[in-house]
């Protein structure tokens, strides 16, 4: 604390002309990373006016950047500078820089907004505010800031392209379109094929997401030839034709796209909507027939995907029953052991008509086959010898289904029949899963440990063993296993499954050990901070640094990551702990 009076401290906040020139020189030295020279000049100023807030803040920032001072001490130092000069935009800016560097983005954003309110004429300061607003997904704020920058400097292309991207993210599509037009007309070079193609793609995305389909279609027909990504052109044409209800054009483009990627979810969802087909609902025979004919035209009608979709879309009757049982026979012949997973949508009422009847049909079929396998019997026209050859595949499929239906005792009986070495690890896995469903986690762990003897470095297996250990309150054992997983780099939070950290936090919380529970929640936040991407350069130089289309995808991915359910659960648990 200073021994000077408040009045004397305030007097020291004003630079003389010479000191002002020295401080400007210090800022340039900081920008060019000449930290030693900057510190020497700062010390000269501080000898004369030791309570000057801007000089104190800059010194703290340089010590932090040169790793001579920890973040906590730096933040305290700059807060002290703010107490001396609360209305200095420079100090608020420096405080925001440190917070941003520490990924304390919300606090940095508050600092930069205060800075902008105090000095609304500096493009340099507004630029940093814009970046933080984009980083914090405050797209309306970013658009407002970039609009101010455009008004202050209209002849800088970067202002216009950043205004277009922030307007697009804020769903202000007309503003985005107009801003992009200005940029393309006055600042972009048509001779640069790759850059020009990227800008054309961005313009089409704005029009399509803004539901300006007629304008987008007209633009695609006129400028689509200059876009290098031809699949993108076809996909955007598809969206336009579909929303404009041009059925023949949609079918024509879908046929081309199916040849490129028959498993694309977008293509299938549009295809079903095109024929007015809804999953989990009764559909007209005419629509279903039209769909099958389309699949035949693109030679996709024999795939597993189409067969499963067929079972979902059709009502359960004797004919479908025969087809479904025939499909099961085919999968068993191929020794598939994941029929329950493969037919998951067929058993789900959201996607499938008569889902319960279909589930029961497959269950009965596998039950009959398992009974035959167990007692060396034939089944219908299948000889006993052939069933024995496929017995382990049959049994594993049946076990997985009855565990799902909750018939755990019967599942355990049939698991014991599995005898071939090639299926032994799967046998142990299903036995462990069955016992875990019964709440017998200690018994389940024994079988997982048998698998671990054969697969000591199977990370998914170790994760499951840890979860089961926590369930039976063997926290110390779980901690030892966690060390094995993180042994490669203990300082890298991304090396750990964050869901495991949450499981540890919950286990300690239930035990009443709030200190350790909090420790694991802090590790979860550390995990998110470690993986959080600071896109500072990209927000500033999006046009020069990377594809705008790729940048927009990156922004969406980062937003999804920041809004993760795992992070929300960790925050909820922390609030619960703090309330104890």
Residue 342 included in any domain: yes
Q: Are 482 and 497 in contact (CB under 8 A)?
A: no
The predicted-structure confidence for 522-549, as pLDDT tens digits, reads as follows 989 888 887 777 787 788 887 777 789 9
The predicted-structure confidence for 315-359, as pLDDT tens digits, reads as follows 999 999 999 999 998 888 887 878 888 999 999 999 999 999 999
The whole-number pLDDT of residue 2 equals 67
Residue 213 included in any domain: no
Largest CA distance in the chain: 103
Residue 133 has pLDDT above 70, yes or no: yes
DSSP 316: P
Q: How far is CA 454 from the centre of its chain?
A: 33
3-state per-residue secondary structure call for 455-517: CCCCHHHHHHHHHHHHHCCCHHHHHHHHHHHCCCCCCCHHHCCHHHHHHHHHHHHHHCCHHHH
The whole-number pLDDT of residue 353 equals 93
The predicted-structure confidence for 228-274, as pLDDT tens digits, reads as follows 999 999 999 999 999 999 999 999 999 999 989 988 989 999 999 99
Residue 368 included in any domain: yes
Residue 492 included in any domain: no
Residue 443 included in any domain: no
| Phi, psi of 319, rounded to the nearest 5 degrees | -65, -45
Residue 426 included in any domain: no
- At 57, is the pLDDT very low, low, confident or very high (cuts 50, 70, 90)? very high
- At 227, is the pLDDT very low, low, confident or very high (cuts 50, 70, 90)? very high
Residue 525 included in any domain: no
d(CA 315, CA 319): 10
The whole-number pLDDT of residue 65 equals 92
Question: CA 95 → CA 34, 109, 191, 296, distances in Å?
Answer: 20, 10, 43, 64
Residue 491 has pLDDT above 70, yes or no: no
Nearest to 213 by CA among 183, 238, 243: 243
- At 436, is the pLDDT very low, low, confident or very high (cuts 50, 70, 90)? very high
**Number of structural domains the chain divides into:** 1
**Which residues constitute the domain of residue 408?**
304-418
- At 569, is the pLDDT very low, low, confident or very high (cuts 50, 70, 90)? very high
Residue 211 included in any domain: no
Nearest to 257 by CA among 278, 282, 231: 231
CB hemisphere CA count around 99 (13 angstroms) = 23
Nearest to 452 by CA among 429, 472, 474, 475: 429
């Amino acid at each position: 604390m200073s021994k000077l009076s408040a009045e004397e401290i305030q007097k020291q906040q004003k630079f003389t002309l010479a000191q002002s020139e020295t401080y400007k020189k210090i800022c340039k030295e900081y920008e060019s990373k000449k930290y030693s020279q900057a510190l020497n000049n700062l010390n000269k100023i501080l000898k004369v006016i030791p309570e000057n807030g801007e000089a104190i803040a800059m010194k703290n920032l340089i010590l932090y950047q040169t790793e001579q001072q920890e973040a906590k001490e730096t933040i305290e130092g700059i807060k002290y500078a703010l107490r001396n000069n609360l209305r200095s935009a420079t100090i608020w800016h420096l405080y925001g820089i440190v917070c941003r560097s520490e990924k304390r983005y919300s606090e940095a954003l508050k600092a930069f907004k205060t800075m902008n309110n105090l000095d609304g004429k500096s493009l340099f300061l507004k630029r940093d505010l814009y970046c933080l607003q984009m980083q914090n997904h405050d797209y309306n704020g970013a658009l407002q800031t970039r609009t101010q920058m455009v008004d202050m400097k209209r002849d800088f292309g970067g202002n216009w392209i950043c205004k277009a991207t922030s307007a697009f993210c804020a769903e202000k599509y007309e503003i985005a379109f107009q801003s992009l037009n200005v940029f393309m007309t006055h600042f972009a070079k048509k001779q640069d094929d790759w850059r020009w193609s990227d800008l054309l793609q961005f313009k089409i995305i704005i029009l399509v997401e803004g539901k300006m389909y007629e304008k987008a279609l007209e633009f695609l027909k006129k400028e689509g030839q200059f876009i290098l990504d031809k699949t993108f052109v076809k996909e955007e044409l598809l969206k336009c034709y579909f929303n404009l209800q041009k059925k023949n054009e949609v079918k024509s483009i879908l046929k081309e796209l199916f040849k490129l990627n028959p498993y694309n979810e977008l293509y299938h969802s549009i295809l079903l909507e095109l024929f007015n087909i809804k999953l989990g609902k009764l559909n007209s025979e005419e629509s279903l027939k039209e769909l099958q004919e389309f699949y035949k035209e693109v030679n996709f009608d024999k795939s597993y995907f189409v067969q499963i979709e067929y079972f979902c879309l059709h009502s359960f009757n004797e004919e479908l029953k025969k087809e479904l049982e025939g499909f099961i026979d085919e999968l068993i012949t191929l020794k598939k052991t994941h029929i329950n997973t493969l037919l998951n949508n067929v058993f789900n009422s959201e996607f499938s008509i008569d889902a319960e009847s279909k589930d029961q049909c497959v269950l009965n079929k596998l039950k009959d086959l398992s009974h035959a396998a167990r007692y060396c019997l034939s089944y219908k026209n299948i000889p006993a010898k052939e069933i024995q050859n496929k017995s382990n595949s049959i049994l594993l499929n049946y076990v997985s289904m009855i565990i799902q239906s909750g018939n755990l005792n019967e599942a355990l009986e049939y698991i014991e029949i599995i005898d071939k070495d090639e299926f032994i690890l799967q046998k142990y896995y299903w036995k462990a899963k069955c016992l875990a469903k019964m709440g017998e986690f200690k018994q389940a762990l024994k079988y997982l440990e048998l698998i671990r003897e054969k697969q000591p470095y199977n990370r998914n297996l170790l994760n499951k063993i840890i979860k089961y250990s926590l369930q039976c309150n063997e926290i110390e054992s779980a901690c030892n296993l966690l060390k094995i997983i993180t042994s490669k780099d203990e300082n890298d939070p991304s090396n750990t499954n964050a869901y495991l950290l949450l499981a540890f936090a919950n286990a300690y919380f239930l035990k009443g050990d709030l200190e350790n529970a909090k420790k694991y929640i802090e590790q979860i936040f550390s995990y998110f901070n470690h993986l959080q991407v600071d896109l500072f350069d990209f927000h500033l130089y999006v046009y020069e640094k990377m594809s705008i289309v790729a940048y927009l995808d990156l922004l969406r991915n980062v937003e999804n990551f920041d809004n993760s359910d795992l992070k929300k659960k960790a925050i909820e648990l922390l609030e619960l702990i703090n309330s104890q």
